Amino acid sequence: MKKIIVGITGASGSVYAIDLLEKLHQLPQVEIHLVVSPWAKENIKLESQYSLADITKLADVVYNIRDMGAAIASGSFKTGGMVIVPASMKTVAALSIGYTDNLITRAADVVLKEQRKLIIVPRETPLSAIHLENLTKLARLGVHVIPPVPAFYNHPQTIQDLITHQSMKILDSLGLDHHFGHRWKGE
């Protein structure tokens, strides 16, 4: 069983997190550990038809963002990686300087120090030079930065097609076998 941490922060784009959780939930080889920030909870209400209870049902373990004694706050708790989706610029900034004031940033800091897979899905536009510097610093540390940039080679017909493609890219980066999304097959 591969333990995957999912952190949802307060940037717009909670639909990406929900879709990823739904797809991870369908993979029997994955155990989902979830942390949701207070602003993420608000965005879930604003941006989706889901309740927090609907989302937490998709996870195997749910943590309070203030629980700094949680299993995922320790390097001795082995995981297969972590995804922060969407990743607010506040969270990106905190990660780039090692500021761990909540369980999402602490768990990500642990993943970094243990040299495990950390994926962030930054959701902001336009990006300032500060945002770009923070993202570049994290990329140089080995963080996979996978912004939600749509692909059109697969001829998406719906918004869900675009969201599924994003989840496919994240699942691929985690090294998980899955059947979601349409891949490029050549010309």
Rounded to the nearest 10 degrees, the angle between the axes of helix 14-25 and helix 159-173 is 60
The reply, when asked if residue 14 is annotated as ligand binding, is no
- Token digits of residue 61: 């373990």
Does the annotation place 123 within a ligand binding site? yes
48 three-class SS: coil
User: Is 12 a known ligand-binding residue?
Assistant: yes
- Tell whether residue 74 is among the known ligand binding residues: no
169 marked as binding residue: yes
Residue 168 is labelled as binding a ligand:
no
63 among the known binding-site residues?
no
Sign of torsion over alpha carbons 65, 69, 71, 74: positive
Residue 39 neighbours by CB under 8 Å, 6+ apart: 9, 10, 88
Is 88 assigned to a binding site? Answer: yes
Residue 57 annotated as binding? Answer: no
Binding-site positions for dimethylallyl phosphate: 153, 169
Binding-site positions for FMN: 10-12, 37, 88-91, 123
Binding-site positions: 10-12, 37, 88-91, 123, 153, 169
